[in-house]
Structure 1
């Protein structure tokens, strides 16, 4: 078991890691939820107490629920819109190009522009492309929102674990 000072530092690092993970959910340059899973597991190992693991386990469960809900809900909405995976892949590649061409907002702008152009080519009319682009953005937004909400709940679970761990040590 680590010393109390080392556990405090592990806790600080865990919170910083979770904040970076949440940012990775919003701006998907880093796999945010996967990072959060590793952070929560690492913190549980670092403090290695029943109370600490209960908080970490709650956070891990909430993160997994967020990932699964995001995939399922986004995937179902995209299937209803009949948006093929290649369109999403083109939008993702455009987002990467946008990120380098215009650091900051370029990621979002690149995704939207790439999505619209791919849909325009697929549908041959701007009106249909705009409609499916809007629907796709809503689907992706809902998925990210749910994943971020679950990441926030995992943050709270970690905080409860931190409180319980340090008050019982």
Structure 2
């Protein structure tokens, strides 16, 4: 693959990494797709082995991303409904206040969803909101770790094939 092609793959991977931290773009899919295109155009066992390792890392991080934080939220007693409401309000918040509205909306939406469940006990609703926010943060970190590892595998292979 040409240097320009590899730069474009690297840019797609970078956009994917940003998409994981600021969940606007499907970051994991972009990274997997970019490495897949690179493997297809580069060809050979090293390229396809790199793609396979990256795919396994991304799939494993995706599984852990949903199971580990979900278990912690279940242990804390935060229902999925509160997360869904927080997520929906976060999406609306993103369009009302670009970028930071996503975070403000998620926290506000989760808090408002938890308030009636705790019978207007603000402290208990806030504790649940903090648990939910920590779980979402943990989920993002797990996905980011898998994506960074997959990106590192690609970078190592791209440099090796140079």
Q: One fold, TM greater than 0.5?
A: yes
Question: Distance in 2 between the 1:40 and 1:68 partners?
Answer: 20
Tell me what 1:164 maps to: 160
Question: Distance in 1 between the 2:68 and 2:5 partners?
Answer: 34
Q: Name which of structure 1's ranges 51-60 and 92-101 shifts more when overlaid on structure 2.
A: 51-60
1:28 is paired with a residue whose SS is: coil
1:23-62 alignment, distance < 5 Å:
23-62=18-57
Tell me what 1:126 maps to: 122
Q: How far 1:83 sits from its partner (Å)?
A: 2.0
TM-score by length of 2: 0.92
Question: Distance in 2 between the 1:44 and 1:82 partners?
Answer: 44
Matched pairs, number: 161
Root mean square deviation of aligned Cα? 1.4
Structure 2 residue runs of 5 or longer lacking an equivalent are none
2:161 is paired with a residue whose SS is: helix
Contact 1:67 1:147 survives alignment (8 Å): yes
Tell me what 2:64 maps to: 69
> Structure 1 segments of 4 or more deviating over 3 A?
none
Structure 1 residue runs of 5 or longer lacking an equivalent are none
TM-score by length of 1: 0.88
> Per-residue CA shift, 1:9-56, capped at 9, x if unaligned?
332222111111111111111121122222222221121122222222
